[in-house]
Amino acid sequence: MKRTLIRLSALLFTLHASLAGSPPKDFTQENPEQRAQRMAWFNAARFGMFIHWGVYSVPAGEWQGKTNYGEWFMEETKMPVSQYENYARQFNPVKFDAKAWVRLAKDAGMKYIVITSKHHDGFGLWPSAQTDWSIKSTPFHRDPLAELATACKQAGITLCFYHSIMDWHHPDWGTRRAWNDLATGTPDMDRYVDYMKAQIKELITGYGPLGILWFDGEWEKPWTHERGVDLYNYVRALQPNIIVNNRVGKGRTGMGGMDKGQGVGDYGTPEQEIPPTGFGPGVAWESCMTMNKHWGYNKNDQNWKSTEVLVRNLVDCASKGGNYLLNIGPTSEGLFPPASVERLGEIGKWMKVNREAVYGTTASPFPKLPWGRCTKKVQGKSTTLFLHVFDWPADGKLLVPGLKSSVSKVYLLADKKHTALKTLSSGAGLGISLPAQAPDARSSTVVVKLREELRVE
């Protein structure tokens, strides 16, 4: 009863405030402590799954003899929108199993999933009340996002939505395509923003608490910084603790993904690249990458990155204080490509041994390490360094340059007995004697427990 009264009074307060015409709250003026609290899960997670799924998976990258298409199929083929809509009628992912997808992500060590609720083609992956251009117009009379939300909740995985600001299908998107043969009238961006906000409200209020709203497609002229600030505040007002990436505004410097200043959004979004260094404490970022060459499913693209490259990318991001968002492009049947499943399984085996050297870590205190990377974990007064050795020294001698702190224990993370490794401090830093064989050629972790505060020269 008391809880209901509290809720009722909060609702009345909000109602009064809005009737009184008080200005909407500017969430960009959040204090550092509030921001740190809101970003904590993201910064600890370090590893997520990106999913690009939509009707573009039906042609699977192939059209009129060309085989290099992906989620940009409509734009790159310049297919009349009326013809492109036929793919929705063929989109029937009868093999879609949300629990299986979430299990694959969780077993790979991923802590969150970002799935395309709407990509640039405007197709809604959920039964939106705002348009028929959604899963409603397919033979698949289910709600994949609802099934994914349930599976994520059961598995303790954070669900996030990717939502494209740019919309090649909607008649009011400001830069209308010549091949949008269904659009009539003059584009009206205010009307478009109302439509986009109505869809976003469905997503934020209909699928449980979300981790991130991952905006994209912000680069075209009709979108402005001011509209970005407004959209950021709109989203945060609907779910105050949600995280919004920097593509809600206009601050992103191309694929480098970081803000050039005057941006809006909570973190930077390098794409298909990893920054050369981190950006210091308090600057959150996430590098998103494909596993082959396409975001959306392309049946001919067999350019798969090796598991070694994927593991080292994850370690590289974590060593610079960032996250790794690794993409899957499911088929129109609702399956992850076998090559993706294979790599997810291999990454999962590596994470089973090395996850504590990734989750909850912060950036390396060393400028550059010739043999690999380093992540750091501070728990109370104790500091642990995780040395990720890519190039195992042939002579068994590993030097941590400049490390001056005394150490209490050094051991291989893969060694369940935590057998102490011999160390020798010198003017050059800390020398560690390693066994001849690396536990994992892709990346092996040496744990260095410091006895005192961290000192690096």
Instruction: Tell me how many residues contact ligand FHN (CB under 6 A).
Output: 6
Which residue in the set 288, 326, 385, 432 belongs to the binding site for ligand FHN (CB under 6 A)? 288
The nearest distance, CB 115 to ligand FHN, in angstroms, is 12
The nearest distance, CB 316 to ligand FHN, in angstroms, is 18
The nearest distance, CB 271 to ligand FHN, in angstroms, is 5
Which residue in the set 167, 172, 202, 216 belongs to the binding site for ligand FHN (CB under 6 A)? 216
Asked whether position 286 contacts ligand FHN by CB under 6 A, the answer is no
Q: How many CB atoms lie within 10 A of CB 51?
A: 21
Nearer to ligand FHN, 257 or 372 (CB): 257
The C-alpha torsion from 331 through 336 and 338 to 341, rounded to 10°, is 170
Nearer to ligand FHN, 213 or 434 (CB): 213
Nearer to ligand FHN, 54 or 321 (CB): 54
The nearest distance, CB 13 to ligand FHN, in angstroms, is 39
Residues of this chain, 245-274, that bind ligand FHN according to CB under 6 A: 271
Which residue in the set 49, 51, 56, 71 belongs to the binding site for ligand FHN (CB under 6 A)? 71
Asked whether position 440 contacts ligand FHN by CB under 6 A, the answer is no
Asked whether position 85 contacts ligand FHN by CB under 6 A, the answer is no
Residues of this chain, 3-62, that bind ligand FHN according to CB under 6 A: none
Residues of this chain, 293-322, that bind ligand FHN according to CB under 6 A: 295
Nearer to ligand FHN, 223 or 295 (CB): 295
Nearer to ligand FHN, 121 or 316 (CB): 121
The nearest distance, CB 215 to ligand FHN, in angstroms, is 10
For binding to ligand FHN (CB under 6 A), which residues are involved? 71-72, 216, 271, 288, 295
